[in-house]
């Protein structure tokens, strides 16, 4: 199977994440897209994130209506920092027949050479670059197998959603309705 992997903080999951995953699924013929919330993102202070269980719940709620979108707690149950290379190695061991596609935004591609063991990341997967409006893609790191994901991206970020919510403003139509309900019930981002 061609397997898409979309990782991130998902703090919260928003329609930009879902649109990028759908564009990649359709363009690359992906059988599934795993949504993997980071347990401990190495580039973000853990204290600023919603609890992992809440972020996983938001991913599960937000992907429930799509049969090819699958939430995964792989990085949440693993101890220590959540490194993409470790996630890809795990998936490669567990699913050796699958062809892995790491879905990233165009703003992320240039940073990947600074990630832990980038050469192993590039050996384990094809990097599927989804356009992010306002963020042109830089050059691919050396050794990377990169494909461009066509389709309209959404100019949206989780930090913008959190900012709206902190100001007491509506995030309706920016996040899936079940996620918005969960955020309200849990009192997140207030």
Residue 60 within any structural domain of the chain: yes
Long-range contacts of 183-190, Cβ-Cβ distance < 8 Å, separation of 24 or more: 183/12, 183/58, 186/54, 188/12, 188/50, 188/54, 189/12, 189/50, 189/161, 189/162, 189/165, 190/165, 190/166
Q: How many folded domains does the chain comprise?
A: 1
Domain that holds residue 81: 2-155
The per-residue pLDDT of the chain, averaged, comes to 94
Residue 56 within any structural domain of the chain: yes
* DSSP helix/strand/coil, 176: coil
Rg (CA), the chain: 16
Residue 177 within any structural domain of the chain: no
Task: Write down the pLDDT at residue 46.
Answer: 63
Residue 63 within any structural domain of the chain: yes
Residue 174 within any structural domain of the chain: no
Q: Which of 19-23, 59-63, 142-146, 165-169 has the lowest mean pLDDT?
A: 142-146
Contacts of residue 179, Cβ cutoff 8 Å, sequence gap at least 6: 12, 13, 14, 58, 61, 62
Q: 40-73, pLDDT tens digit by residue?
A: 988 776 668 999 999 999 999 999 999 999 999 9
> pLDDT above 90 covers what percent of the chain?
82
pLDDT, mean of residues 161-170: 97
Residue 136 within any structural domain of the chain: yes
**Which CATH number covers residue 52?**
3.40.50.620
Taking Cα atoms as reference points, which of 2, 79, 5, 4 lies closest to residue 37? 5
Q: 93-149, pLDDT tens digit by residue?
A: 999 999 999 999 988 888 899 999 999 999 999 999 998 877 667 778 888 899 999
pLDDT class for 166, splitting at 50, 70, 90?
very high
Residue 189 within any structural domain of the chain: no
* DSSP helix/strand/coil, 129: strand
Task: Write down the pLDDT at residue 161.
Answer: 98
> pLDDT above 70 covers what percent of the chain?
97
Residue 179 within any structural domain of the chain: no
């Amino acid at each position: 199977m061609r397997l898409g992997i979309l990782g991130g903080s998902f703090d919260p999951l928003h329609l930009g994440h879902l649109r990028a995953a759908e564009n990649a699924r359709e363009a690359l013929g992906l059988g599934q897209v795993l949504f993997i919330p980071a347990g401990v993102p190495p580039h973000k202070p853990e204290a600023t994130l919603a609890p992992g269980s809440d972020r996983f719940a938001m991913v599960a709620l937000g992907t429930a209506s799509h049969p090819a979108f699958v939430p995964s707690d792989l990085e949440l149950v693993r101890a220590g920092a959540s490194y993409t290379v470790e996630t890809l190695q795990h998936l490669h061991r567990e699913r050796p027949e699958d062809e892995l596609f790491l879905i990233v935004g165009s703003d992320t591609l240039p940073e990947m050479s600074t990630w832990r063991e980038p050469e192993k990341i590039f050996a384990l997967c094809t990097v599927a670059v989804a356009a992010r409006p306002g963020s042109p893609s830089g050059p691919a790191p050396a050794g990377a197998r990169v494909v461009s994901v066509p389709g309209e991206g959404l100019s949206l970020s989780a930090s913008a959603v959190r900012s709206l919510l902190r100001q007491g403003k509506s995030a309706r139509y920016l996040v899936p309705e079940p996620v918005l309900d969960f955020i309200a019930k849990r009192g997140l981002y207030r």
